[in-house]
Structure formats: structure tokens, C-alpha cells
Amino acid sequence: MPNQKRRKDVRNVAIIAHVDHGKTTIVDALLKQTGAHIFKDGETVIMDSNPLEKERGITIFSKNASMRYKDILINLVDTPGHADFGSEVERILRLVDGVVLLVDAFEGPMPQTKFVLKKSLELHLKPIVVINKIDRPNAQPDAVVNQTFDLFCELNATDEQLDFPIVFASGKEGRTTLDLSDDNRDMKPLLDTIIHRVLPPVADLDQPFQMLVTILDYDSYIGRIAVGRIVHGSVKTGDPVVLITREGNHIRSKVTKILAYQGLARVERQEALAGDIISIAGVPEVRVGETIASPVNPVALPTVNVDEPTISMNFSHNTSPLSGRDGGRFLTSRHIRERLAHEAMMNVGIKVEEADGGERFKVSGRGELHLAILIETMRREGYELEVSPPKVIFKEVDGDLLEPIEEVVIEVDSGYQGAVIESLGNRRADMKDMQMTSVGTIRMEFHIASRALLGFRNELLMMTRGTGVMSQIFLEYQPFKGEVPRRPTGVQISQGPGSSVAYALWGLQDRGEIFIHPGDPLYEGMILGVNNKGQDLVVNAIREKKLTNIRAAGSDEAIHLTPPREMTLEFALEFIEDDELVEVTPKHIRLRKRYLTDNERRRHQAITRAANASAAAKG
């Protein structure tokens, strides 16, 4: 609207891209260019400050930073590229007036590029396209520009959005350029493009204070912190405010602290103006999507819509015989309930429901990785818990059963594509595209049910000898695709408690892959390996070699153990079946049967068979 007032000395912009296309590295280079942060020796990616982010090399939590360039304050937000953290991306885009879309100069647009760009275009944000990693061998920046333009057209971008500026960059080398023939060595071309192409924020200082809460933070000293952008007016420490809840209730509070970003550091301020991205403390009941406004004229802003969860798991306290022996500090259902309630309050992508009278909790999220990150965070905080296999969330619309479908892009060396196509064909996947890349690899695109993908990532690595690359994104709900193959192998189950013995494991490793080391503690019902023959097998892993007083050269065979699989949370969640659980403690990840004794398992199987027969007879 022509009469909207804008604040000319501020630009709010988000960095969006597919996983590992270099968002965080570009932000670091911009901070270096503007002198907003002094790097320590050996420090490279300062925005990924969370230990999990450093280990996995991905951005999980969105973060803010600010820098000053040519007397203009640029607020930058680094967003997650993984589709599982889509709730973060969606909320962050409400804070900004423009987006910097990063695309890898070799890989080109990928599924999550499409995901984050679609969200941006729906919010009518103007993009700046940065073709990153132009220093990579086999980079093809000109071809990637054409692919990106095709993607914009596919997503129905407006003519104005299609007129996007293009910047070529190498975040690693800290340089950008508007022309590939120009050997510019700094980040100024990108900073100038942001200033000229991103609109100043709409900000009317004369109207009463209004702010939409897009992120929640928590501090043990000052309590809940609301993060958002001031839409109108200004606010000072000590000002009375009104929280307008989703239900329309008005709750009066007082601002006790205002925090803003200076570089990467959060600094306290006495006053903030429209257009600023700030954090406010003093509103204890605030939730994401609610409005904090002036008591003079409290009007709610449009709330944030977040994509629905597609995967759920059951969390419960650890009931294994080894509970409490691994340094866990939070062992009870009450501890887990409080932690999950806190997570659901801070993370709008997570939904928590109680089951079995509060003994178990159904936790729903946007994908396996989304929930795996929560579990990993909890175990590092000292929680012990049991987790059931991930289940997709079905919908029923007009009597039809619908299930979530994912778009999957797989890139493999030529020669492996036949095995991949056969495996995904068995999982009822539909191939949509296959083409050869400039370096001779094969890139394939499939549409496949989310539940059919569970366990496939590890299978892909096995069949491609670790060279296959897979990325996936939620597409839509489609009619139920029918049954898909289950795990073809059985498991080896510990017969009783004790410590595993190398001699016993040596005799068992011919049956299948082993998950434990000699000397590891065992209990009855614990899963210690794979049984290749397809059915579950109860084994004795604590059996020692019988000693005799007869010795002869060469009569004793040397024990050669294959190194066991390093148990990771992702593998464990993909591997287990309906009657199995993952035991998660601060020090170990173990697999176990839901019912530990053989008699319990047989009784439960008999009950299940009877129930299935009864249902079939009624049907």
C-alpha cells in the first residue's frame, strides 16, 4: 500500500536453502566483512553453536544476528534447511521482508530448496538468489541459474518475484560477485544487493505497540522470552502490555527486559522501535503465534499457521533392568512429562498427548530427524527413556484413508541405480524423473509413502557402498498405498542377564550382525544382533568356554570378532519393529523387546493372533 510508513535504516532478511548448501558459512562471511564478530583461532561456523549442530553439520534452531553496513542495520536470520524443521522456517519468514536463497553451484535446486522457496513465495517475499560454492570442482553456475528460474516458474512465482537479482559466491573463501568474470574478493556485492533489493520494514511509530511472537526462548532467571518483530509503535522497559491469546483472552503484563542483537550477542536495551527484531521478558503465559500489544488499543495480528505433524512415537520412562545405571538423573514419568510439556511450549512443531494414564506420551513431529533430535537432546540432559518405533499419522477424509507421501531425490554412481530402483519399487514408490548429472552420477526422483521410507536410508548406504546421497521432503497426503515389506531379518535376543563373553559372541556372529561388545551388560529380552534367517532367536551370549586339563598345539581356535555396529539413534529407530523398543540413556542406546521374557512374548502373540482372527471374521 502506498501510504505505509517504512523504516529506512533497517533491513530484515532470512537465509534459506537446502541442507549443506552453505547458509551458515555465508552468514559467517558477512559477519566477518562487517566486523560484527571477532573469530577465535580455528573457529569456522559460529552460527551453529548447539553441540548437535556442530556434530551433524546442519542447522536445527534458527538464530538471529545483526550487522551494520553503510549506516543501515541488517538483521539476518539463519534458518534450518531440513524439512523436518519446517515449523522453524515458517515462523522465521514472518520476521523478515526478503530472503536470500542459496543454491549449490554443483547440485542445483534440491527438494528442500523447493520447500523453503515455496514458503517464501507464498508470503510474497522478494528473493535474492545466491549461487554458492562456485569454487567447487565441476561447478556449473550458469546451468544452476536456469534450473532455479525453472523452479520459480514451477512454484507460480509472480513477475516481480521472477525478476530476482543473482549473486555468485564462495562462502568458504568469503567472496561474492555479480559477474563470474569479475574476481571480487569480499562480500560487499551481496551486502549492497540486500540493501537495494530488500524492502525496509513496514513500521509506523505513531501507532500503538504491536508485536507477533514467532519464537519462544527460556531463561532460568527471567523466565519465558518472546521473540518477534515489532510491527507498529515502540516499547520501553517497564511499559504495561497486553497479551492477546489465541482464544482471544487479554492478559495484562509488564515488560521487564528488552533484548536485541548486536552481532551475535544479545544485549539489553531500554527501548525498541517498529521494525526491530527483539526479545521481550515479563509475559509469562505467552505462546507462539500470539500478539503482545499496547493496552491503549490491543489488536491481534494474524496468527502463524504451522504444518501438521506426520510422524509420531511413544515415549515412556525406562523400565529395563539396567535403568538408573548409566548416570541418568531424570528417570520417572513425571520428569519426562515436564520436559515434553516444556518442549511443546517452545517448539510449535511438536505435539504431546498422554496415554496409559500418563505413563506413556505420544509425541508427534514433522519427521524422524525432528523427533530424533529431541531424543538426543533429552539424553544429553540426563533423561532415561524408552521409545517406540516411528509411526506415520494417517488421515480420514470423506471415508478415504490418506497417508503422508514424500518426494525423495537420490543420487548414486552409475551402476547402482538398478538396485535402488528395484528396492524402492518393492516399497511401492513412483519414479518421477531420472537424469545424469554433469559428473556422471545418476539423480532419481521418487514419490513414496513416508512409512515405506523407514529403514531405507541404511539400506541405501549398504547397496551403494556408502556413496548414495538421499534427501526427502513431505509432499502431500494421498490415498493409502497398501502394505509395504517389513524388515526381512529377525533378531538375536539375550536369554538371560550377565556380561557378554567374546567366546559366545564369536559363535553367534555367523548368524548375523552383532550390536554389542564383549563385556557389555545384558538382560533377558535385550536385542544383541541380527538373525539373518528371518525369525527371532533366543541366544546365550554369556556362555564361556569349558576348560579342560588337556592342551595341545593348535587345538584352541583363535577368536576373531567382527567389530560390532556403532549404535546410533537414527539406525535404532529405523531398525526396530512394532514389538521392540529403543532404550535411551545418557551413555548408551540399546535395543530390546517390548516384553522381556519368552513366555510374555508368546502370550502376547497369541492374544494378537486371536484379536486379528476375530477382526477378520467380523470384516
Task: Cite the DSSP H helix spans in 172-296.
Answer: 188-197
DSSP 424-479: HHHTT-EEEEEEE-TTSEEEEEEEEEHHHHTTHHHHHHHHTTT--EEEEEEEEEEE
Angle between helix axes 141-154 and 111-122 (nearest 10 degrees) is 50
- Which residues are CB-neighbours of 180 under 8 A, at least 6 positions away? 134, 141, 142, 168
589: nearest Cα among 530, 515, 514: 515
Provide the pLDDT for residue 193: 93
Q: How confident is the model at residue 27 (pLDDT cuts 50, 70, 90)?
A: confident
User: Average pLDDT over the chain, rounded to whole?
Assistant: 83
In the chain, what percentage of residues exceed pLDDT 90? 18
Q: At what angle do helices 417-426 and 456-463 cross, to 10 degrees?
A: 150
The reported pLDDT for the residue numbered 168 is: 92
Q: Which three cell numbers stand for residue 173?
A: 573463501
Question: Quick check: helix, strand or coil at residue 408?
Answer: strand
Structure confidence at residue 550 (pLDDT):
65
Q: Does residue 40 surpass a pLDDT of 70?
A: no
Radius of gyration (C-alpha) of the chain in whole angstroms? 27
10-197 belongs to which homologous superfamily? P-loop containing nucleotide triphosphate hydrolases (3.40.50.300)
pLDDT score at 170 = 87
Cell of residue 490, nine digits? 529377525
- Position 43 confidence tier, pLDDT thresholds 50, 70, 90: very low
CA-to-CA distance for 78 and 27, rounded, in angstroms?
7
For 450-564, list the strands marked E by DSSP: 469-479, 490-494, 498-499, 521-522, 526-531, 537-539
Nearest to 131 by CA among 77, 178, 174: 178
For 485, the grid coordinates are: 515389506
C-alpha 359 chain-centroid distance: 26
At 369-426, the pLDDT tens digits run: 778 888 988 988 899 999 999 988 888 888 888 888 888 888 888 888 898 999 888 8
Neighbours of 114 (CB within 10 A): 18
Question: Starting at the edge strand that comes first in sequence, how are the strands of the sheet with 166-170 ordered?
Answer: 63-69, 72-78, 10-17, 98-104, 126-132, 166-170, 175-177
Query: Comparing 616 with 10, which gets the higher pLDDT?
Result: 10
User: Looking at the domain that runs over 210-293, which CATH code has it been given?
Assistant: 2.40.30.10
pLDDT at 69: 87
Q: Is residue 132's pLDDT more than 80?
A: yes
557 band by pLDDT with thresholds 50, 70 and 90: low
Alpha helices in 48-198 (DSSP H): 51-56, 86-92, 111-122, 141-154, 159-162, 188-197
- Tell me whether domains 10-197 and 395-479 share a fold: no
The three cell numbers of residue 108 are 542445483
pLDDT (average), residues 1-7: 66
Of residues 619 and 43, which shows the higher confidence score? 619
pLDDT attached to residue 44:
40
Please enumerate, by residue number, every residue annotated as part of a binding site.
20-25, 132-135
Question: Over the stretch 134-147, which tens digit does the pLDDT of each residue have?
Answer: 888 888 889 899 98
The cell for 154 is 514451477
Burial of 64 (0-12, 13-18, 19+ CB in 10 A): buried
CA distance 269 to 235: 10
| Band of residue 609 on the pLDDT scale cut at 50, 70, 90 | confident
Contacts from 296-302 at CB under 8 Å and sequence distance 24+? Answer: 296/208, 297/208, 298/208, 298/242, 298/244, 298/250, 299/210, 299/244, 300/244, 300/248, 301/210, 301/211, 301/212, 301/231, 302/212
Higher pLDDT, 381 or 5: 381
State the Cα–Cα distance between residues 498 and 500, nearest whole angstrom. 7
What would the mean pLDDT of 80-103 be, rounded to a whole number? Answer: 73
Give the pLDDT confidence score for residue 266 in this predicted structure: 78
> Taking the domain 311-392, which CATH number applies?
3.30.70.870
Q: Measure Cα distances from 379 to 234, 372, 383, 414, 482 in Å.
A: 42, 11, 5, 40, 36
pLDDT at position 524, please? 92
Supply the pTM of this predicted model. Answer: 0.74
214-218, Cβ contacts within 8 angstroms, sequence gap of 24 or more: 214/91, 214/92, 214/94, 214/95, 214/288, 214/289, 214/304, 215/62, 215/91, 215/92, 215/288, 216/286, 216/287, 216/288, 216/345, 216/346, 217/279, 217/346, 218/342, 218/346
Helix (H) or strand (E) holding 503: helix 502-508
Q: How confident is the model at residue 67 (pLDDT cuts 50, 70, 90)?
A: confident
Closest C-alpha among 613, 42, 84, 526 to residue 323: 526
Q: How far is Cα of residue 525 from the mean position of the Cα atoms in its chain?
A: 32
Domain ranges across the chain = 10-197, 210-293, 311-392, 395-479
Q: What is the pLDDT of residue 59?
A: 39
The strand ranges marked E within 171-310 are: 175-177, 210-219, 223-232, 234-236, 240-244, 250-254, 257-262, 265-269, 271-273, 277-281, 291-293
Residue-wise pLDDT for 473-527, tens only, equals 778 888 988 888 778 889 999 998 999 999 899 989 889 899 999 999 999 999 9
What local confidence, expressed as pLDDT, does residue 497 receive?
92
CA–CA dist 367, 370 (Å, integer): 5
Distance CA 278, CA 213 (A): 10
Taking 50 as the threshold, does the pLDDT of residue 53 lie above it? Answer: no
Q: What is the pLDDT of residue 62?
A: 46
CA dihedral 203, 204, 207, 209 (to 10 degrees): 20
167-200 tens-digit pLDDT: 998 888 888 899 888 888 888 899 999 999 998 9
CATH topology of domain 395-479: Alpha-Beta Plaits (3.30.70)
Reported as a pLDDT band with limits 50, 70 and 90, residue 551 is low
Could you tell me which residues are annotated as the binding site for GTP?
Answer: 20-25, 132-135
Flag whether pLDDT at 38 surpasses 50: no
Mean pLDDT of 131-135: 89
Query: What pLDDT score does 50 carry?
Result: 45
Smallest CA-to-CA distance from 67 within 112, 36, 33, 23 is with 36
- The phi, psi pair for 44, rounded to 5°, reads -120, -55
